[in-house]
Structure 1
C-alpha cells in the first residue's frame, strides 16, 4: 500500500539519478527491493499498533497472495480442469501426485518426477491452485487442498508427495477426500502454526502479531493452526514417510522430529549434504521415495554412490532407512 503509493515517485527518482550519472542501487532499475521491504515492515507494524486484527489480516493476505509464474517451457505441460500440470511415465503405472511448496512452482519437483516416471510411476505434477502458471489469487491452504481433492479424487492416486508447505497441503487434500493414499513429506513443517511463525519472523513482523494472526486464522478456518498438520499426520501411521535435510535452515530438521513423534510408525530418513532446495535433486531422495511408494519390481537394484560431499543416509531416531 505505502510502497504502491510511493512507486511512481521512486521511479522518477531512479530515472533522475541515472540521467545525472549518479549511482543507482544494484539490480533492476525499478525493483526497489530494500525500500519495498522496509516500507512493508513499517506498514505492518503501524497497522498492528492500531489494531492487531488489521495487522493479522494484512500479514495473512500477503502470505496467501502468490507471485505469478512465467510460462513454462517444459514438455508435457498442459492445463486440465483449471490447473496447469505436467504428466510423466506410463499411463498404467502407480499414480503419484507431486505437490510443490509455498509460493513456488511445479518445475522445482521435475527431477523427482522424471526419476519416478523412469521407474514406472505415472506422475502428476500440477502447479498448486493460485500459484505458478495458474491464475494468481489469495487462497488458504485448505482451499488449495479442496481444489486438488476435487480435481484428482477420480485418478486413483496411490501416493501424494509434498515438499515444504506442500506436505501440509497434501495432508489436507487427503483429509478432503483425495483417498487413502500414502503420504510422503519432504522438508515439511510440523504444523501451520510453525510455518506462520517462521513467516512472521522472516518478514520482521512485530511480536504482537503472532498471537493475533494465529487467532485470526483459527476464527476464519475453524481450526487452530497448531492442529493443522499433527492431527492429519497422526492418522497416516505406516502409510507415511518423513524425509528431511539435516541442514535445512528454512524448515528445521526438528520439525521432522516433531512429525515423527506423532507418527511413530512412519518411515523416516534424514539426509546430509543437502538443504531445503537441493534435496529435490539428490539421488538418495529418489531412492528413498521409490523404495517406499513403488512396487518392489520398480525399485532400483543398484544404489548410486553418494557424492563426496555427502554422507550416507541416516534414519531419524527411531526410524528406518528405506
Structure 2
C-alpha cells in the first residue's frame, strides 16, 4: 500500500460543485470538542502524543492489565467510547483511547479509513502487545484493515462498521448526486488520496486477517452504515458472532449498557485458557 502524498485537505478550485463536495465529505472530518465531563474523565490518563506521519496522535490510557484499544468513528473522538473504559478497567484491562488523524485533539485536517488503519497500527506498535480492539463505525473498518496488515489480537468487537470501501464510495457518490462520469472521477480521486485501489479495502481482500474471535453488533435500522455490511462480515468470518440490536441506530450503541456489557464480557472471554 502506497501512503498518500499528503494528509492535508484536497485542493481543486475548478472541480464541479458536487464532485468537490464528495471529495470534502470523504476526506475532511468535523473536529468535535470534548465535553467537560469527558475532559475531566481523561485528565489523569493523558499520555505524550504519538508522532505519526508528520502529525501528533492524542492518546490516553486508563487502568492496568492486558491492553484493549478503543477506535472511534468518523466525525467522532476517542472520548466518545469512554462508556467502555471503566467496565473494561473493572474487568482487569488497561484501556487506550486515541483520536484518529484529523479528529479530536490529534493533528491533521483530513483522513480516511486507510489513514485510520495506519494510525491504529502505529499506536499498537508503540504500545506493544494488545489483547483486543473495540471499534465503532470507521474505527471498526480501520481495525479490519489493520488485521489484514499484521495486527494480531485475541478478541475484537465491531460496532456498526462498514466492511468494504467500494459500497461506501459508491453510496457517497449517489448521495452527492454524481452522474456516472463524475462518480468514476471521484473513485479515481479516492484511490489517489488513499494511495491504494479501493478494492484493496474491500472485505474479500481483508478477510485473511480475521484469525481471532469477533463480536459484531449492529442495528438493522441503522441509517448511516447498512446492516448488510455486518452480515457480510459475519458470513466471511468463521469465528464471528453477529448480534443485532434494536432502537439504537448508529451512535447510541456507544452508550447502551447492554451493548457495553456484552462487549466487555466478550473481550474478557479471551482471557480464559
Give how far 1:244 is off.
0.8
Find the partner of 2:94 among 95, 119, 122. Answer: 122
Cα distance in 2, alignment partners of residues 211 and 181 from structure 1: 39
Alignment check: 8 A CA contact 1:245 1:272 kept = yes
Please name the residue that 2:241 is paired with.
267
Please name the residue that 2:69 is paired with.
97
Give how far 1:164 is off.
0.6
TM-score (norm 1): 0.67
Give how far 1:206 is off.
4.1
Please name the residue that 1:161 is paired with.
134
Please name the residue that 1:175 is paired with.
148
Find the partner of 2:80 among 102, 105, 108. Answer: 108
Find the partner of 1:292 among 251, 263, 266. Answer: 266
Cα distance in 1, alignment partners of residues 200 and 221 from structure 2: 26
1:80 aligns with 2:49: yes
Please name the residue that 1:218 is paired with.
191
Change (3 A) 1:217 1:63: closer
Find the partner of 1:134 among 76, 95, 106. Answer: 106
Q: Which runs of 5+ in 1 are unaligned?
A: 1-42, 49-54, 299-322
Give 3-state SS (helix, strand or coil) of 2:209's partner: coil
Give how far 1:180 is off.
3.9
1:239 aligns with 2:213: yes
Cα distance in 1, alignment partners of residues 263 and 212 from structure 2: 14
Alignment check: 8 A CA contact 2:148 2:209 kept = no
Alignment check: 8 A CA contact 1:233 1:263 kept = yes
Give how far 1:182 is off.
2.9
Please name the residue that 2:250 is paired with.
276
Cα distance in 2, alignment partners of residues 106 and 204 from structure 1: 32
Change (3 A) 1:115 1:194: farther
Give how far 1:148 is off.
2.6
Larger Rg: 1
1:152 aligns with 2:148: no
Give how far 1:114 is off.
2.3
Find the partner of 1:59 among 9, 22, 29. Answer: 22
Cα distance in 1, alignment partners of residues 100 and 192 from structure 2: 24
Give 3-state SS (helix, strand or coil) of 1:198's partner: helix
Give per-residue Cα distances to partners, 1:262-287, cap 9 Å, x unaligned: 11331221112321111111222123
Give 3-state SS (helix, strand or coil) of 2:148's partner: helix
Whose relative contact order is higher, 1 or 2, with alpha carbons under 8 Å and at least 6 apart? 2
Change (3 A) 1:84 1:137: same
Between 103-112 and 191-200, report the one with greater CA deviation.
191-200
Q: Which runs of 5+ in 2 are unaligned?
A: 1-13, 51-55
Give 3-state SS (helix, strand or coil) of 2:41's partner: coil
1:184 aligns with 2:150: no
1:250 aligns with 2:224: yes
Please name the residue that 1:318 is paired with.
none
Give 3-state SS (helix, strand or coil) of 1:75's partner: helix
For this pair of structures, how many residues does the alignment match? 246
